[in-house]
Amino acid sequence: MSKEKVVLAYSGGLDTTAIIPWLKETFGYDVVCCCIDCGQGEELDGLDERAKLSGASRLYIENIVDEFAEDFIMPCVKAGAVYENAYLLGTSMARPAIAKKLVEIARKEGAVAICHGATGKGNDQIRFELGIKALAPDIKIIAPWRMTDLWTMQSREDEIEYCKAHGIDLPFDTKHSYSRDRNLWHISHEGLELEDPSVEPNYDDLLVLSVAPEKAPDEPEYVTMTFEAGVPKTINGKEMKVADIITELNKLGGKHGIGIVDIVENRVVGMKSRGVYETPGGTILMAAHQQLEELILDRATYEVKKEMGNQLAQVVYEGKWFTPLCEAIRAFVDVTQQYVTGEVKFKLYKGNIIKAGETSPYSLYSESLASFTTGDMYDHHDADGFITLFGLPLKVRAMKMQELSKENQK
């Protein structure tokens, strides 16, 4: 009789490597590893050997970079979705994309369970599990770090010893470094000095994609981008797919110290955590998109879209990608993007993105209306009646307060 299968979200790191023999020993499962490449840039060579040596029956390496860029990143860019005014959702957007692929592999393999190595304190456990529940409610979810009666390892040293005891002697070390998560969109850093909010980040050791703004070039660099229906199409005249545009913007942004954010954020599980995010290309793309959008969206739509962008950021941060609400917000945003087409120019200089002009065939900006000369469409006298009506509630209330004040003085 064949064993039941479990699909393990596998990174090749110490945690998920130790989980392989633990799953076999604890549950008797046949372990199928799945490493999902969202553009993390890590060396994937040797993962197959490591997974097999650790006892996995099979390893899938799935490249979802284009799907991640087009189906997960771009809806958030179009919406201007930013969590707590600073975090551009790099990890949050990737988790539902990974969950979707894990479910696909589980279905293909006929697995009864999916296992992830996220801790019981973070947001990722929620994002993985809400995605799996929404797409495959019948599949069991295993989270070793929350199963403290069965998962007894508490440190890297424990995990290394456990691996060695099971014949897995791999080049893992016990030194503690930053906890990082990298993909096409960003890299996050937690741990070490960042655990104390009073301490300045050690940027010389910490930064991976970028340089600190003070170490960026002393000359600004001009960049021109075009968009069609809210989607970036070219950089400096060169047409590229979305994933390649983000990669190119990462190089440009990293060079000029763009998009380094130090934030104390509110996790879904109720605690505050401090992290540093590098999102050089994403910061530029969001700014360029907004720069163009300012020309095109009317005031009322723009106001509601800002609210929807904040709502989407909250929804995505909380792992609720595969929900009717998320789908409805994205549908609203797509309608607003129909005419977000045109060209933007800006310059990058020491951590800053400085506007240098924008054009669009759908621009609502009218030079004759905006100028101080009087044109046919705008009669200054019309403002009299408008202000009278617009200010009527304020005037009525002020008159009432005056009246009450006089009565009280009698």
Residues 6+ apart with CB under 8 A from 410: none
Maximum Cα interatomic distance, the chain, rounded to a whole number of Å? 96
* Active-site residue identified among 50, 95, 274, 330: 95
124 is catalytic: yes
Q: Identify whether the C-beta of residue 12 lies closer than 8 Å to the C-beta of residue 37.
A: no
Q: Identify whether the C-beta of residue 291 lies closer than 8 Å to the C-beta of residue 344.
A: yes
Helical (H) or strand (E) element with 355:
strand 352-359
205 is catalytic: no
Report the Cα 379 to chain-centroid distance in Å: 47
**Residue 153: what are its φ and ψ, rounded to 5°?**
-75, 135
Closest CA to 316 of 165, 119, 99: 99
Q: How far apart are CA 69 and CA 73, in angstroms?
A: 5
Q: β-strands 5-9, 113-115: how paired?
A: parallel
Q: How far apart are CA 336 and CA 305, in angstroms?
A: 8
Q: β-strands 260-266, 272-278: how paired?
A: antiparallel
379 is catalytic: no
Tokens 């009666």 sit on residue: 149
Q: How far apart are CA 294 and CA 10, in angstroms?
A: 42
SS3 category, 121: coil
Amino acid present at 95: R
Residues 6+ apart with CB under 8 A from 374: 380
15 is catalytic: yes
* Active-site residue identified among 50, 54, 92, 124: 124
Q: How far apart are CA 312 and CA 79, in angstroms?
A: 8
* Backbone CA torsion sign across 334, 337, 341, 347: negative
SS3 category, 189: strand
* Active-site residue identified among 57, 66, 156, 179: 179
Residues 6+ apart with CB under 8 A from 399: none
Catalytic residue annotation: 15, 95, 124, 179
